Amino acid sequence: MKAIRKKAAAKINLGLDVLGKRDDGYHELRMVMETVGICDRLTLTATRAKGIRLKTNRGFLPRDGRNLAYRAAQLLMEEAGVEDGLYIDLYKKIPVAAGLAGGSSDAAAVLEGVNELFGLGLSRSELMERGARIGADVPYCVMKGPALAEGFGEILTPLDPLPECHIVLAKPAARASTAQVFARFDELANWAHPDIDGQMEGLKRGDLKQVVRCMGNVLELVTIPMVPEVSALKELMMGCGAAGAMMSGSGPSVFGIFEDPEDAKRAYSRLREAPQAAEVFLTEPYEPGPGTGGEDDD
């Protein structure tokens, strides 16, 4: 039977602001997003046996409708009345529960793969609309690249590319529940808003220093007290020559942006030995390749 291979790339937030809580329970967000070259790999195979089967190298992950990749396949296949079955082999490299949208990116890759595998003929905007039913980050993970995300993350505007740089990303062993992070954030009376407009202007001008200067993530206010390793990792990256370092999403992953590739390599080596970091990656902004979604950095 026919098979399709896809890559699902991680995302980082160069800027993350919360404007308030909406009546529907979601939070009104304003974020600058970027895709990086840390990728999960998926193989989607059409089968004669009906139903969806999912295999993954991470044994603790669910393999049913609790998994966003499974849910994405189920949504499209039921909608289109696909009679064949589907086998999904998911090799995860993106850290789990890390603020990197790994599950959402897997779902986006499955939407794209199912669309191609069964010839459904859906456009990218149609896949993004269906992705919004699965999770807030899924539309962005279909779109990829630098973007402004508004609403609860589903209103997307492409931005100019991040100037050439090198990215070191580290995840502590501890986890930060997104629901708990936002619940604690709702208890705050006020907070300083990052300069999202200034960051977009920096991207437009190709000015990496301005982009970095305007970096900010308001969720650090509540995640750092829960996971102090976030602050320690930021300090380590800055001490290694990072132009800037910040937590991604609701955390607890931290990334540093480096102009000098040698500084990035030294930071990567040092962080691999740091007790605060359980997983460390050296990567760059992501450039999709035809049919695969780009190359990761292994």
Catalytic residue positions, numbered:
11, 137
Contact in structure between 294 and 9 (CB atoms under 8 Å): yes
- What are the backbone angles phi and psi of residue 98, rounded to the nearest 5°? -125, 0
Left if phi > 0, otherwise alpha if psi is -120 to 50, otherwise beta: which for 20? Answer: left
Beta strand 52-56 with 85-91: parallel, antiparallel or unpaired? parallel
Residue type, 256: G
CA dist 109 and 217 (Å) reads: 27
Helix H or strand E encompassing 140: helix 138-143
CA dist 152 and 21 (Å) reads: 10
CA dist 227 and 175 (Å) reads: 8
Beta strand 3-21 with 216-217: parallel, antiparallel or unpaired? parallel
**How many helices (DSSP H) and strands (DSSP E) are in the chain?**
10, 11
Contact in structure between 117 and 109 (CB atoms under 8 Å): no
For helices 261-272 and 229-239, angle between their N-to-C axes, nearest 10 degrees = 140
